[in-house]
Amino acid sequence: MEILFKILNRRKLVDMAMTTLLWWLRPIKTTTKTAAKEEEVEEPLSPATRVFHTPQMNCCIVAVVGCKTVIDVEVIKEGIYQTFVKHPRISSKLVFDPKKLGKPIGWIRTKVDANNHIIIPNLNPQMDSPDEFIDEYVSNLAQTPMDLTKPLWEVHILNTKTKDANSIAIFRIHHSVGDGISLMSLVLACTRKTSDPNAVPTFPTENKKKKKLLVDTSNSWFLWVCFLWMMLAFKMFWNTIIDLCMFLATIVFLKDTKTPLKGSVGTERAPKKFVYRTLSLDDIKLVKNVMNVTINDVVLGITQAGLSRYLNRKYGESKGAGKVQQNNLPKHIRLRSTLLVNIRPTSKLEHLAEQMETDDPKKRKWEWGNSIGYILLPFHIALRDDPMDYIRSAKATIDKKKRSLEAIVTFMSARIVLKTLGLGVVAGITHRVLSHTTFSFSNVVGPKEEISFYGHPMTFLAPSVYGHPQALTVHFQSYMDKMTLVLAVDKNLIPEPQLLCDDIAESLELVKQAVQKIKVFKI
User: Cα angle at 422 between 416 and 423, to 5 degrees?
Assistant: 105
Look at residues 60, 189, 169, 68 and name the one whose alpha carbon lies nearest to residue 118: 169
Q: Which amino acid is at 82?
A: Q
Residue in 154, 53, 48 with CA at minimum distance from that of residue 94: 53
DSSP 128: S
Taking the C-alpha atoms of 443, 448, 451 and 457 in order, what is their torsion angle to the nearest 10 degrees? 90
Is residue 198 packed enough to be buried (19+ CB in 10 Å), middle (13-18) or exposed (0-12)?
Answer: exposed
The amino acid sitting at 220 is S
DSSP-assigned letter for residue 89: T
The per-residue b/e assignment along 410-442, b for 16 or more CB within 10 angstroms, e otherwise, is bbbbbbeebeeeebeebbbbbbbbbbbbbbbbb
> Phi, psi (5° rounding) for residue 340?
-90, 130
Beta carbons of 250 and 376 less than 8 angstroms apart: yes
Determine the Cα–Cα distance for residues 38 and 49; give it in Å rounded to an integer: 23
Amino acid at 513: Q
Maximum CA extent, the chain: 81
Question: Catalytic site residues?
Answer: 175
Residue 80 to residue 43: CA distance in whole angstroms: 23
3-state secondary structure of 416: helix
CB atoms within 10 A of CB 458: 23
Query: CA–CA separation, 344 vs 492, rounded Å?
Result: 37
Residue 291 · residue 391 · CB < 8 Å? yes
Beta bridge partners of 191: 453
CA–CA gap between residue 189 and residue 196 (Å, rounded): 14
Question: Can you tell me the distance from the alpha carbon of 219 to that of 19, in angstroms, rounded to the nearest whole number?
Answer: 38
